[in-house]
Structure 1
Amino acid sequence: MRRGRRPLPSRRTRPSPRLQSLLPRQGEPVMKLLGLFDDFLKETVNLNQTRIDLLEESIGALKTFLRASDWKPKIVGFEEQGSWAHGTIIRPVDDDEFDADLLVMVEPVEGWTAADYVEELGRVFSGTGVYADKAKVWDYCVTITYAGQRRIDLAPCVVGRLWPGSLEVCNRKGGFERSEPVQYTAWLKERNAYSGLNSFRKVTRLLKYLRDIKETFTCSSVLLTTLIGYRIDWMEKDNPDFADVPTTLKTLTGRLDDWLQRHPNKPIVANPKLVTEDFGEFWDTQEKYANFRNVIHRYRGWIDEAFQMEGRQESIAAWQRVFGDEFGKASVIKVAADAASDGQARVRGLLSSTAAHFNELVDVVKNYGISILPPDFCRPPHMKQPRWRPAPNLAKVNVAAEWRESRSSAPGRAIRAGEILPARGGLYFRVDMEDGSTTTAGHQVQWRITNTGTVAIAKGQGRGGFEGENMSHGRWEPLAYRGVHMSEAFVIRRSDDVLVAKSDPFYVVIE
């Protein structure tokens, strides 16, 4: 960090052409973490094989039971429906029960109402000792619950009642309803084929997991899957925008966000194979849709930022912001173990007693993260000590940082401690109390800006003293010198000059 240098343009989530130079140029490497995405899907997101095997075993038993029962409709077949059929079923959060849907395709029964098909199906299951305690009748289906494991919904679907080949599901309260479940499933399989490498299905699972783990928006699975499906078409087969899972995730989330931003009001989301059916009705209020629109916009920004990260540990941290700590968890644990054994020894060899640390230290932090730094790194010899009398119990405050093109430019993107930054532009620092509030008028904030690294020390910029705010409610610091630097906030009560709160060091890594 350095005073008085005019910064260059910033990188934004949605950059204008003028700011494109700050993003990795086409052909420059980004850290895609393909192996970690595969592991995350297999170990955390996907329904595990044991559960799939149990599901298929239960489905087989239910088919055998129904064919041998006295249920009057003639069964012409069974069709998987929903996430199971679409290949987008995911493991439930907290290992809860998961759902699978099975359509029972039947010929019409003369004189039967839609309610008869469902209620008679419920009677068949309730009248046997095997399923009596497991069966429950709903409007469209009979649910068989295997406690703590899975739920299977069996829904009658009448074939050819209106005309040869017509399909209708049965609503006990609303009568027969047209449906095209087989064609809809085929449509989704086409989307997946266009994307290649099964990436459409994998991205759909990731977004469903994001919905379930974050609980920040509501969107039924069929609606979410349809929205994603509409974002890809046949002409895009072998498009590099779908080259792998993270690339497909970035592409489809970006396209979905663009579409949502063009529709501020709750839109119609037609079933692509039955245009009279509007899946958008699952947002039963404008408020729920508006929330979904806003949240997807926010996650799109996080995904774009994570995709652009180049350092492995920085990239993992960025994706953990999106998906939580389970993403890359094994890799993070391994890095921590490596650091405990020989990683910190490597860092020690790059440190000097004057804080004129070797330039290679930045590369090590880039690969391993700031946790690799030893505890005494934040106490270099040129750092000044606070001169204020401390309160008996110091409060904790947090430092927030924001990248800006220049001191006078508009707010930019938030920066995490330890994020690798180019020597461009600068950071606007501000103080937030732990409860999220800002400091009051009765206090002042002093900033301790400490530089390290050979370049800064050699040029007499090994700052470590205290400086006041130079902007409204914050401090601006240009980014200039390669190294691992620190920013700390100290809150002093004006009435008696007592130090009442301080922050932990906020590490700024400039490459």
Structure 2
Amino acid sequence: MKLIEHFDNFLSNTVNLNQTRIDRLESSVAAIKNVVRDSDWEPKVRGFAAQGSWAHKTIIKPTEGGAFDADLLVYVDPVVDWDAAAYINSLCEVFEDHGTYEEKVKAWDYCITITYAGDFKIDVVPCVRDRLWAGHEVCNRKENRFEVSKPAEYTAWLIERNTWTGNNAFRKVTRLLKYLRDIKGTFTCASVLFTTLLGYRITSFDRFNSNPFNDVPTALRTIVDRLDDWLQLHQAKPAVLNPVLQAEDFARLWDDAKYSNFREKIHLYRKWINDAYEEPDRDESIGKWRRVFGDEFAAGVEMEAASISKTAVVALARSNVPVVSTGLDMVNLLSAYGSKAIPEGINRLPYMHRPRWQLATSGQFPVFVTMSLHSARNGSLMRRVDGLSPLPKGCWVKFDVFGGPGGVPLSKDYVVHWRITNTDREAIQAKQLRGGFNVANDGTSHWEKLAYRGLHLAEAFVIRKRDQRLVAQSAPRFVVIE
């Protein structure tokens, strides 16, 4: 499903840089401009301009504990007999001699960086205009040479493509994919390279057909499909030329291994995005979108979905089963109505993590889970657990998984991941709904302490070690804690 409203909220609340940070950035930039203007820096300053993600409006909120970057160009007239390094070094000295910035500034290859601890960094980039001809050059301090640059033209190129998609679709998708890059950490792609790759996926023909960009999830799917199609045509690292400066190849920011990994990961995430987009069940679609973007996506749905006792009451009523009292939790409902009280789709709750492994094309087999009650982890057996009999808090359960109808223990060729999912009021209050994957903590078996009243689920996922493919998945095993 598209879940357009959830995408809009996700962008606003999680991905986009919040207004407070934007205000601090703009205030800091204004102060930096004043320092440069009021200093005795020899180059004549002709103006300032935003550059990079800030100028392109694709800047995103940093991941927890991180900082975001903003680039500020300083356009200057050339100084006779100055080499490229002089512009960087002398600008750094201006800020080193200023009491506010002396501990915050550092010179790099093309800029000076002013760091605001734990929040953001501002790269101040000298850009020399009309030195030998009409045009702009940045300063390579490391190699002490001038390099032609066309930042305004590049920004205009991106703005044009954003206009062709309509509704800021290109910018929104770029932010989403940069967020995906940052939270997954599974591939490396510098922002200028990533943005350029995405920009090339938009063509002038898109001006005449807005359907591929009608809404955010559709635009995301369109652009990722196009990117993956292009990547699959290039097994070896291709050139990714600056669209306004063909002598510059942004692919230099990759090596062959990084490109190959990027190509592989985009191919995988394309499958996940299409799977989530095409999923007709709302809760299952939310779960699949969370596989792509993490648990912050549609975060507000979690509490509603976790209160399955409410869902169970509604389902019982629809089945013409009268519920004699309101305010019952799942333990009460199961006691009164048995398995009829278990809502349909309980194993597809939106906060449950979806499998990240590809399904094996061969070698699949059935598995089932057994459960036993113990006084402590590795403690004495109290009893085998069958059905929906309530279990006491404080005890431990051991889950075992067996393959095939005969109940054969799994060999060392496999590793088992367990998905433990809690539901209902006590788990919600304790913020312990879980739903993620844990590697078995006792060979292929798994131990859990009984902690929260309610109905909970345990599922086994069997992964073949040699190719990391999913070969088996058990049915949910229900655990009732009183």
Q: TM-score, normalised by structure 2?
A: 0.70
Identity of aligned residues (%): 49
Conservation of the 8 A alpha-carbon contact between 2:370 and 2:400:
no
The counterpart of 1:140, out of the listed 89, 110, 117, is: 110
Structure 1 unaligned runs (5+)?
1-30, 372-383, 401-415, 419-431, 440-475, 478-485, 489-502, 507-511
Question: Which of the residues 203, 212, 221 maps onto 1:250?
Answer: 221
Tell me the CA shift for residue 436 of structure 1.
12
Deviation at 1:310, TM superposition (A): 1.7
Which residue pairs with 2:477 in the alignment? 504
Judged with a 3 Å threshold, the aligned counterparts in structure 2 of structure 1 residues 344 and 66 are, in CA distance, closer, same or farther, namely same
Aligned to 1:313: 283
For structure 2, which runs of at least 5 residues remain unmatched after alignment? 322-335, 353-367, 382-396, 404-418, 422-437, 446-470
Greater RCO, CA 8 A, separation 6+: 1
What is the rounded CA distance, in whole Å, between the counterparts of 2:477 and 2:195 in structure 1? 43
Structure 2 distance, partners of 1:397, 1:187, is: 58
- 1:152 counterpart = 2:158: no
Match for 1:103: what amino acid? L
Q: Name the residue aligned to 1:456.
A: none
The corresponding residue for 1:22 is none
2:350 pairs with 1:344: no
Q: Offset at 1:343?
A: 2.2
Whether 2:423 is the aligned partner of 1:434: answer: no
Count of matched residue pairs = 373
Amino acid at match of 2:197: L
C-alpha spacing 1:388/1:122, structure 2 compared with 1 (3 Å): closer
Task: For 2:477, give the aligned amino acid.
Answer: D
Q: Tell me the amino acid that sits aligned with residue 120 of structure 2.
A: R
Give the aligned residue type for 1:42.
Answer: S
What's the counterpart of residue 8 of structure 2? 38
Q: Which 10-residue stretch deviates more, 111-120 or 141-150?
A: 141-150
Indicate the residue corresponding to 1:447 in structure 2: none
Asked if structure 2 preserves the Cα contact closer than 8 Å seen for 1:314 and 1:366, the reply is no
Matches of 1:389 and 1:112, distance apart in 2: 79
* Structure 2 Cα separation of the partners of residues 102 and 231 of structure 1: 27
Give 1:138 deviation, angstroms.
1.1
Tell me the equivalent position of 1:201: 171
**Amino acid in structure 1 at the alignment position of 2:249:** D
**Out of 286, 299, 302, which is 2:256 matched to?**
286
Cα 1:290–1:189 shift into 2, 3 Å: same
Q: Distance in 2 between matches of 1:86 and 1:34?
A: 23
- 2:136 — aligned with what? 167
Distance 1:399 1:183 in 2: 63
**2:211 is the counterpart of 1:240:** yes
Shift of 1:147: 1.3
Q: CA deviation at 1:150?
A: 1.3
CA distances 1:428-455 after superposition (whole Å, capped 9, x unpaired)? xxxx97379989xxxxxxxxxxxxxxxx
Aligned pairs for 1:372-451 (under 5 A) are: 396=399, 434=440
Of 47, 70, 83, 2:17 maps to: 47
Secondary structure (helix, strand or coil) at the match of 1:94 reads coil
- What do you get for the CA RMSD once the two structures are aligned? 3.6
Partner of 1:470: none
- Name the structure 1 match of 2:84: 114
So what's the TM-score if we normalise by structure 1?
A: 0.66
Displacement of 1:334:
3.0
Gap change, CA 1:327 and 1:187, over 3 Å in 2: same
Per the alignment, in what secondary structure is the counterpart of residue 64 of structure 2? Answer: helix
After superposition, the Cα gap between the structure-2 partners of 1:265 and 1:395, relative to the gap in structure 1 and judged at 3 Å, is: farther
Structure 1 residue aligned with 2:41, among 61, 71, 74?
A: 71
Cα distance in 2 for partners of 1:225, 1:88 equals 9
